[in-house]
Amino acid sequence: MTKKALIVWGGWEGHTPLASGEAVRDMLQNNGYEVDLEPGTGALGDPGLGRYDLIVPMITQDVIAKDELSNLVATIAEGTGLAGFHGTMGDSFRQEPDYQFMVGGQWVAHPGNIIDYRINITRPDDPVMEGISDFDYHSEQYYMHVDPALEILATTTFSGEHCDFVDGVVMPVVWKKRYGKARVFYSALGHVVDEFKVPEMYRIFERGALWATR
């Protein structure tokens, strides 16, 4: 049976939400999915949202209606997968702790803005990370508040160069978690659509989205 995915995009344009949504749409279609790409949060209020096997939020710093949020949370809890990346899932609705609980983390800072840093693979045995070694990355290094129950697949360590009081802090970058009956996947990589050209970033999100799919 063909898998169905919904991508919703909007919010802050600095994260190239439409272009990144189109990149994920193409990625999923290449894996045989039927994909709907919708602007705004309205589609999340659809009573039939559970027909999707995967939902990918692509929205930064926006607001969501209470009925849309409750419908999304209930749909994920019943088994529809959730996958996303960077601020388009990790900084979507700052006023909604129910959403953050479901995602497993919330962006709070990126000291130094666009910098060079290192990604360390913590679970090389996991299928998402198969064949991927530690690698250098050029983007925002996300500092996040995270759920201690996460299954962490990759981390980064802050040097203190741009914020001395976080020197040596080891921060999750890629994780899996459960929410109700669902699988949830998140990667902090992907500030703009051009980062999909980085092979490691692309493979990690592709594999994570496939894993999260019901």
Which phi and psi angles does 134 have, rounded to 5°? -50, 145
- The whole-angstrom separation of Cα 72 and Cα 50 is 9
Look at residue 32 and give its three-state secondary structure.
coil
**pLDDT score at 122:** 98
Tens-digit pLDDT profile for the chain (214 aa)? 999 999 999 999 999 999 999 999 999 999 999 999 999 999 999 999 999 999 999 999 999 999 999 999 999 999 999 999 999 999 999 999 999 999 999 999 999 999 999 999 999 999 999 999 999 999 999 999 999 999 999 999 999 999 999 999 999 999 999 999 999 999 999 999 999 999 999 999 999 999 999 9
**pLDDT score at 133:** 98
**pLDDT score at 127:** 97
| Residue with token string 């962490």 | 152
What's the CATH code of the domain at 99?
Answer: 3.40.50.880
Say how many domains are in the chain: 1
**pLDDT score at 61:** 96
**pLDDT score at 26:** 98
- The whole-angstrom separation of Cα 139 and Cα 127 is 25
Structural domain of residue 107, as residue ranges? 4-212
